[in-house]
Amino acid sequence: MFRPPLPPPELRELAINTIRMLAIDAVEKADSGHPGFPMGAAPYAFTLWYRYLRFNPQDPAWPNRDRFILSAGHGSMLLYALLHLNGFLPLEEIRQFRQFGSKTPGHPEQQLTPGVETTTGPLGQGFANGVGMAIAAKMAAARYNTAEHKIIDHYIYGIVSDGDLMEGVSAEAASLAGHLQLGNLIYFYDDNHISIEGPTELTFTEDRAARFRAYNWHVIEIDGNDCEAAARAIEEAQAETSRPSLIIARTVIGYGAPHKANTAEVHGAPLGKEEVKATKENLGWPQEPLFYVPDEVRQLFAERVAQLQQDYADWQREYAAWAAAEPKLAAQYEAAKRKELPHDLEEQLLAALPKPNATRRLSGVVMQRIAELVPYLVGGAADLAPSTSTWLEASPQFAPGSWEGRNLRFGVREHAMGAIANGIALYGGFIPFTATFLVFADYMRPPIRLANLMKQQVIHIFTHDSIFLGEDGPTHQPVEQLASLRLIPGMTVIRPADGPEVAAAWAYALRHREGPTALILTRQSVPAIERETPLSFEAFNRGAYIVSQTPDREPDVVIVATGSELQLGVAAKSALEGEGYAVRLVSMPSRELFERQDARFQQMLIPDQARKVVIEAAVRFGWADIVGRDALMITQDDFGHSAPYKVLAEKLGFTGEQVARRVLSWLRGI
């Protein structure tokens, strides 16, 4: 890769001030935004983008591009200014900063803006996403590079802020990145000493450099306004191959603003007309026109983009030579990029099922077959692989010297695990999975929300799915977590009842590319459900289907159940039929899939004229939207207790006999 020398000081300063002024003018026009961070970070950001970052604005998804993450997403105008100057965005989009329908929203959004690698804003998430991208890059290089040809040899860069480093998710992710020796990860830390409330020393006085050295990071400290120092730091970081690097850049927030620089006032509000005028005077910038880009600056960036086009062409030739020399490897690479799946995936997973067991154990067996069929499935658990049955037995652990490994040991780091999985998904060519107990979905909600916002395919395995995990007690027994996950727009939650539903759930999750899927699995064993006809994958994918029903009669009552409680519905149906009622038993493994169906299907499956019963060992929130407020809710609307699960079932009314008796009494009005 050709690296141009830094421009002469005058031209360099002109380019840096162009970045600053685009940010100032955009924030001022929008009357909203964060101008101070872009003003301070512009020198080292310019150095990175102009001399080192590899990209192609004509092909933003080029696989061997360097990734750049603005984890400090509130400073989005820094990124948008760089994207404009490098040919990703027209100037009109800069003028429309933070306006409805523009590609320059208040925080970077991955699906919206070309050149934006991940959606950032919630601080720390981008930091952890970058760790995931670095892991994926290591995996890809180990799988596809050969001694003769390297098609994956890029870096993951980012800019992080004080706020990022204060958030716990960054601590988790940094710890894991250092442990994994991710030498392809290079972050700038914009150390400007200011947060929204005032100086960072109000709350943040630890030695950050020492902290990251303790994480096994390579730490460099520079003057962030010194482009030569930034260049030397980047090259030193690139030379360090066995540790991630943190370049601590001491900057002045709001650099150039005579009255607001180095104050909290410039952090999250426009400078104001008078301060804008004074800043432009101070930096020798014309007052008009707004959004001014000098011709020399346009030419400077255009020449750099042209050089990068040559790098892109060189890589294309390298790729062609590699593909010719390694046709099988190339076919695997292209299949992974497209996430190809066997046409008979569902049937193969169904055939892999063992005899009845806990759905977490059934899932574990199915996963071994998936590992054979889908070589780009990668992931791991939060120190819970034995409990969640998620270790891919035929693959080694991902670790230094074993970069091809598919098993990730996340440690007890659920928050980072979710965000790292998002980074792996964003990188492309892999389907990541995570695993932990359902109650700890609470720790993962921010990255799960962002995966839905970005429509990224991540499979979350949540086991120990109800009070029936037993003796660990209410601290570990989830009751509200199902409802909490179902609340997230776009989320697909699947709670299978037995082996065939587990196989169907996995098949759906692998085929569903437009967002994350949560598989909700039991700790305790569950019986095989007797169905009138074998499970139809088509019916399953509609979210609900008829398990059995009284023949030749319209149902008097429809029992809807999920997961391990479906067996209670079987018992209740038998008892009700013995009393002369016509009963339809419906399994609803996914409320979200059911709610995406048309009203005609929903009415056909759960007719208005029938009375309805819901059985689920979780809070009832949301069920009334499906079955109405007059339905009988056999749910768990309080925290659980510590006891063996069979004792809990009896004490809390979740045995087959108790459910049947309760439904009968309700139907009779007793």
| Statement to judge: residues 515 and 556 lie in one domain | no
Assign 442 a pLDDT band (cuts: 50, 70, 90). Answer: very high
Asked if residue 135 belongs to a domain, the reply is yes
Which tens digits make up the pLDDT trace of 90-100? 999 999 999 99
| Statement to judge: residues 395 and 431 lie in one domain | yes
- β-partners of residue 158 are 69, 187
Which tens digits make up the pLDDT trace of 272-289? 999 999 999 999 999 999
Q: Between β-strands 245-250 and 185-191, what pairing exists: parallel, antiparallel or unpaired?
A: parallel
**Cα 364 from Cα 463, distance rounded (Å):** 11
| Statement to judge: residues 377 and 291 lie in one domain | no
Asked if residue 531 belongs to a domain, the reply is no
70 dihedral zone (left: phi>0; alpha: psi -120 to 50; beta): beta
**Cα 380 from Cα 385, distance rounded (Å):** 7
| Statement to judge: residues 551 and 515 lie in one domain | no
Look at residue 655 in the predicted model and tell me its pLDDT: 97
Q: Is the pLDDT of residue 630 over 80?
A: yes
Which tens digits make up the pLDDT trace of 66-92? 999 999 999 999 999 999 999 999 999
Assign 349 a pLDDT band (cuts: 50, 70, 90). Answer: very high
Tokens representing 346? 């569902």
Tokens representing 387? 């409990």
Asked if residue 339 belongs to a domain, the reply is no
Catalytically active residues, by annotation: 414
Assign 2 a pLDDT band (cuts: 50, 70, 90). Answer: confident
Which tens digits make up the pLDDT trace of 119-129? 999 999 999 99
**Residue that terminates a domain, selected from 309, 336, 364:** 309
**Cα 164 from Cα 170, distance rounded (Å):** 6
Q: Cβ distance 220 to 233 under 8 Å?
A: yes
**Cα 93 from Cα 308, distance rounded (Å):** 23
**Cα 218 from Cα 224, distance rounded (Å):** 17
Roughly how many angstroms between the first and final C-alpha of the chain, as a whole number? 80
Whole-number percent of the chain with pLDDT over 90: 99
Q: Helix 359-373 and helix 499-511: axis angle, to 10°?
A: 40
The phi, psi pair for 585, rounded to 5°, reads -105, 120
Q: Mapped to the 3 state alphabet, what secondary structure does 452-488 carry? A: HHHCCCCEEEEECCCHHHCCCCCCCCCCCHHHHHHCC
**Cα 530 from Cα 548, distance rounded (Å):** 8
| Statement to judge: residues 642 and 558 lie in one domain | yes
Asked if residue 191 belongs to a domain, the reply is yes
Q: Is the pLDDT of residue 232 over 80?
A: yes
Look at residue 1 in the predicted model and tell me its pLDDT: 75
**Cα 79 from Cα 34, distance rounded (Å):** 12
| Statement to judge: residues 131 and 231 lie in one domain | yes
Tokens representing 53? 């970052």
Asked if residue 277 belongs to a domain, the reply is yes
**Cα 70 from Cα 53, distance rounded (Å):** 14
Residue 348 neighbours by CB under 8 Å, 6+ apart: 342, 369, 373
Residue 229 neighbours by CB under 8 Å, 6+ apart: 222, 223
| Statement to judge: residues 144 and 285 lie in one domain | yes
CATH of the domain at 591: 3.40.50.920
| Statement to judge: residues 496 and 550 lie in one domain | no
The average confidence (pLDDT) of the chain is 98
Q: Which domain holds residue 181?
A: 9-309
Q: How many other β-carbons are positioned within 10 Å of the β-carbon of residue 332?
A: 17
**Cα 404 from Cα 411, distance rounded (Å):** 19
Assign 670 a pLDDT band (cuts: 50, 70, 90). Answer: confident
At 669, the amino acid letter reads G
| Statement to judge: residues 628 and 506 lie in one domain | no
Give, in order, the Cα–Cα distances in Å from 80 to each of 46, 62, 102, 107: 13, 19, 12, 10
Which tens digits make up the pLDDT trace of 263-276? 999 999 999 999 99
Look at residue 146 in the predicted model and tell me its pLDDT: 98
Which tens digits make up the pLDDT trace of 483-507? 999 999 999 999 999 999 999 999 9
DSSP, residue by residue, 514-534: SS-EEEE--SSB-PPPP-SSP
| Statement to judge: residues 512 and 574 lie in one domain | no
Asked if residue 316 belongs to a domain, the reply is no
Asked if residue 454 belongs to a domain, the reply is yes
At 395, the amino acid letter reads S
| Statement to judge: residues 186 and 286 lie in one domain | yes
**What average pLDDT does the segment 570-580 reach?**
96
Q: Cβ distance 229 to 223 under 8 Å?
A: yes
Q: Which pTM was predicted?
A: 0.98
Asked if residue 1 belongs to a domain, the reply is no
| Statement to judge: residues 426 and 478 lie in one domain | yes
Q: How many domains does the chain have?
A: 3
Look at residue 201 in the predicted model and tell me its pLDDT: 97
Q: How many degrees, rounded to 5, is the angle at CA 464 between CA 458 and CA 465?
A: 75
CATH of the domain at 369: 3.40.50.970
**Cα 140 from Cα 320, distance rounded (Å):** 17
